[in-house]
């Protein structure tokens, strides 16, 4: 890619991210922007100004060497200084000020992009700093989308439904042969520090579900009394189930003998063929035990997603090395729901596993740990401070994840009790040799 092409690609990614941020913040009035819709989330106006502040810190001041735009607000928008529950009480920029601020920062960023050599310094090599900021904005856009899901009131976001699944009979599981494969990356230009470096990992043979677990399958677990039977729950999971009084995925509600869900302000029947979403790790773990299976580990998920048995190499994505398109995966908020299980045949892995990218983040039975040879870059607070904490891994992205913020190596993590995120799961099991 030439320098001109790289600058153009960066500019397009920056514009796509900002257009999405604008959509998510312009969809509601100023009262909704400053309101905290859940103590789990920041006010939308905090997210917007935080996006601009991170962009100013890294691109305007560091990469561009320019004078600060609003140095006086750095502490207000430092995510480590103020827990989300406390942010509404801060003297935040109001909606007009926040929009003015992010626009001023972005104007300076495009000037920096035009004038900065994209080489000679690791932070700017291949446009890394710009890619890091694109991913940061898109991650907050997905967070803001989750805030919209928590918001009460009439629907304000609209999108067409995703494509239907092809009329074909898929196997319930796919066999993944044991052996080594390359996990992580040392080559992906915009890969973040926790994805690096590439390294060999041995995985024993196993079976993995062809598709994520569907609402219909999860309803069978519920109908069988799964939420009331401690046999299926880990000790910690059962304790949380009782503490939180879990009886169904978040945003579901009883309707006579059936169930409804609320999706971005729309109350609708549960679609049985969609992947289940808004379940925590403990619910996924319990379902898997009830089904006689388990959750995949992080290496198992990545091998199923990337390993090509014909060549022995690991791909960037399940379908190959080309960037995602709408034919490969349900990404980028193009649809405000997961696609039916079995959709996106062009996005399947070499082994035949589907919907590993997009639709729902997938809970995995692994904690967040560094890879061998890990080096924090460009700052410890992105990954290193979270290693070894009370987290479970999530892989693959959701319908709310942008293509810039997901790939076969991208790693996400969260507390195992989280349910507001767009997370589901698929199951795996050991390969038993006769």
C-alpha distances in angstroms, 353 versus 211, 265, 295, 350, 423? 7, 32, 15, 8, 18
Residue 37, marked binder: no
Distance, in Å, from the CA atom of 51 to the CA atom of 131, rounded to the nearest integer, reads 14
Binding residue per annotation — 104? no
* Residue 172 annotated in ligand binding: no
Q: Which residue in 159, 165, 162 sits closest to 346, CA to CA? A: 165
44-55 vs 128-150: helix crossing angle, rounded to 10: 180
Residue 50 marked as a ligand binder: yes
Q: Is 418 annotated as a binding residue?
A: yes
User: Is 136 labelled as part of a ligand binding site?
Assistant: yes
- Tell me if 380 is assigned to a ligand binding site: no
Instruction: Establish whether 140 is an annotated binding residue.
Output: yes
> Residue 414 annotated as binding?
yes
Known binding-site residues for Fe cation equal 50, 136, 140
Known binding residues are 50, 84-87, 136, 140, 414, 418
- Name the binding residues for gamma-L-glutamyl-L-cysteine: 84-87, 414, 418
């Amino acid at each position: 890619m030439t320098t001109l092409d790289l600058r153009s690609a960066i500019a397009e990614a920056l514009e796509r991210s900002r257009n999405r941020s604008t959509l998510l913040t312009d969809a509601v009035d100023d009262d909704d922007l400053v309101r905290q819709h859940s103590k789990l989330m920041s006010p939308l106006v905090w997210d917007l100004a935080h996006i601009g502040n991170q962009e100013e810190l890294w691109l305007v001041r560091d990469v561009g060497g320019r004078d600060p735009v609003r140095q006086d607000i750095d502490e207000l928008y430092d995510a480590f200084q103020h827990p989300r529950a406390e942010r509404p009480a801060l003297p935040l920029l109001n909606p007009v000020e926040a929009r003015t601020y992010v626009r001023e920062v972005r104007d300076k960023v495009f000037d920096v992009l035009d004038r900065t050599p994209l080489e000679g310094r690791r932070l700017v090599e291949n446009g890394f700093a710009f890619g890091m900021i694109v991913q940061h904005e898109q991650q907050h856009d997905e967070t803001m989308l989750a805030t919209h899901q928590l918001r009460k009131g009439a629907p304000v976001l609209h999108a067409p439904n995703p494509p239907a699944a092809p009329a074909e009979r898929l196997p319930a599981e796919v066999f993944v042969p044991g052996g080594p494969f390359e996990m992580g990356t040392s080559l992906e230009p915009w890969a973040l520090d926790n994805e690096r470096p590439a390294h060999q990992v041995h995985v024993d043979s196993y079976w993995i579900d062809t598709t994520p677990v569907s609402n219909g399958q999860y309803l069978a677990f519920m109908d069988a009394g799964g939420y009331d039977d401690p046999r299926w729950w880990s000790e910690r999971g059962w304790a949380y189930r009782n503490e939180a009084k879990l009886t169904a995925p978040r945003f579901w509600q009883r309707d006579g003998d059936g169930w409804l869900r609320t999706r971005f302000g729309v109350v609708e029947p549960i679609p049985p063929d969609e992947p289940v979403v808004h379940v925590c790790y403990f619910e996924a773990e319990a379902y898997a035990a009830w089904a006689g299976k388990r959750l995949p580990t992080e290496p198992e998920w990545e091998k199923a997603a990337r390993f090509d048995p014909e060549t022995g190499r690991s791909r960037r994505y399940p379908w190959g090395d080309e960037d995602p398109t709408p034919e490969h995966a349900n990404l980028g908020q193009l649809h405000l729901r997961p696609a039916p299980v079995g959709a996106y045949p062009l996005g399947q892995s070499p082994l035949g596993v589907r919907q590993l990218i997009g639709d729902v983040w997938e809970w995995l039975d692994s904690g967040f740990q560094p890879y061998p040879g890990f080096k924090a870059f460009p700052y410890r607070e992105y990954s290193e401070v979270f290693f070894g904490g009370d987290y479970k891994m999530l892989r693959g992205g959701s319908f709310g994840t942008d293509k810039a913020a997901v790939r076969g190596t991208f790693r996400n993590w969260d507390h195992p009790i989280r349910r507001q995120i767009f997370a589901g799961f698929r199951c795996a099991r050991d390969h038993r040799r006769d």
